[in-house]
Amino acid sequence: MTYLLKLHPEITIKSRSVRQHMIRCLASNVRNILRKQIEGVRVKGGWDALRVSLPNTLPEGRIEEMEDILTRIPGIHEVLATQAVPCSSLDEAAAWIVPHWKAAIARRRFRVRAKRRGNHGFSSVDLERHLGSALLAAEPTARVDLNHPEIVVSVELTHHWLQLIRSRRPGLGGYPLGVQGQALALVSGGFDSPVAAWRMLRRGIKTHYLFFNLGGPAHESAVREVTHHLWQRYSASHNVDFTSVPFEEVVAEILRSIPDGLMGVILKRMMVRAANRVAARKGILALVTGDAIAQVSSQTLTNLALIDAASERPILRPLLTEDKQEIIDTARRIDTARFAEQMPEYCGVISRRPHTRAPADKVLAAEADFDFTVLDAAIEAATVTRASRLLVGQRPPGEVTIVDSLATLARMPAVSVIDIRPPGEREAAPLEIADVPCLAIPFYELQDQAATLPGNREYLLYCDQGVMSRMQALHLKDRGMEHFGVLRHAC
């Protein structure tokens, strides 16, 4: 099986030396990916396309799988499945070409572009004219247009072998991975950050991943899955790092020391500070986020400028001007949406009255009260996993008791409810449940206090959306505490 991998058009307009470098990188990337799948792969670079040869013994299912992989490698514009057939005359060439292209040129403008190598009794122009006439005779609704064709019938004749194109599949486009350097993408469990990382991959940037863990093992497990999917599907030619920073104590310090309206912006500033230090260790020059202008309060132009001011490196935002629906549509196309739908994106710091234009002087004054040793400790506790090993040893998330109604709660013996919301949220909407003891332990203190609670009762965790309460319950279960569940609705 032979394939021609057409180069992304932006590669073909580069200078000769840059184009040759990109072609070499692309050929290496294709080899790295395919040779992990099967043996006997051959990849040969060319000026306009790469030629890939797969073993003829591959079963049909594996052939389809390999073709699909080729369409997801950055730098490839089109994947052409070819077949070499014997040909020594113009009429033989027409006999092979016409059946393959007749349907494609119907009611369309077309031209024939022929490449010929070897000794023949005709020129490349003769071949183009003969095939054009034969195609017009077979399909009268088509017409020739040499300047602005809708269809280009590509023909390659090498000595006495004609390359037929059996099928065409669109590629990912962009630049070969690695030719544009490295970046560090901040990823979470939502729609935006995986799409932002994918856009960087498509532009040839070797992308590492940084995750700030706000919700324990369940949160990290979900993000590991989407990151592994993104790496394996679109960038497996290069192994990269996944760095996880435990950020629960940083969130706790923000909730303790930062005024309500500034919490979101300051959380992001702490994240980019941590990201800069991780990037510095790896020699990475840029950060990547999934921010889209005005999507949330921390993503106004004013607040983004404040976040940038805390960074030593440029922060790239490939989704900055995209609508949310456009981002979701892309996530579905690259198959990351299903992860976001299963694990809603969570931010541990949600101000009740967030500043959309946070004053810089107030931000700096608030950060003066922040204990930066907490941030230092979080960065030192970071763990690094190679992308190829993200799912190694991963256990599926466990199950915890979920109570959906107060009627069910009333029938449970020896049960208490723990309101894990931050103090400000509890005061704004107090939790009151008749005949059931209610405790107030904010989520950032729960892991420390849980072990001190009597073990002869069951505890149901409550928060507004149910996301953090489930993650905290799973976190406790992972530590061997089975008597914690979730109260999903309090009214």
CA distance 263 to 261: 6
Say whether 26 counts as a known binding-site residue. no
Say whether 20 counts as a known binding-site residue. no
Say whether 268 counts as a known binding-site residue. yes
Length of the chain: 491
Say whether 180 counts as a known binding-site residue. no
Q: Report CA torsion sign: 290, 291, 293, 295.
A: positive
184 and 311 Cβ atoms separated by less than 8 Å: no
107 and 27 Cβ atoms separated by less than 8 Å: no
DSSP string, 214-281: SSHHHHHHHHHHHHHHHHHHH-TTS--EEEEEE-HHHHHHHHHHS-GGGHHHHHHHHHHHHHHHHHHH
CA distance 463 to 441: 11
N-terminal to C-terminal alpha carbon distance within the chain: 63
Q: Report CA torsion sign: 416, 475, 350, 343.
A: negative
At 449, the amino acid letter reads Q
Q: Enumerate the β-bridge partners of residue 169.
A: 79
Residue in 347, 438, 463, 491 annotated catalytic:
463
Say whether 283 counts as a known binding-site residue. no
Is 463 a known active-site residue? yes
Residue 2 DSSP symbol: E
**How do strand 182-187 and strand 287-288 relate by DSSP bridges?**
parallel
Widest CA span in the chain: 98
CA distance 439 to 414: 14
Q: Report CA torsion sign: 427, 430, 436, 441.
A: negative
CA distance 402 to 483: 12
- What the block records as the tokens of 145 is 């247009």
Report which of 198, 174, 176, 166 is spatially closest to residue 185, judged by C-alpha positions.
198
CA distance 460 to 455: 13
- What the block records as the tokens of 258 is 């930062």
CA distance 190 to 366: 28
DSSP string, 370-435: S-HHHHHHHHHT-EEEEGGGTTTTPPPP----EE--HHHHHT-SSEEEEE-S-HHHHHHS----TT
Residues at the binding site are 186-187, 268, 290, 299
Residues at the binding site for ATP are 186-187, 268, 290, 299
The residues annotated with a catalytic role in the active site are 463
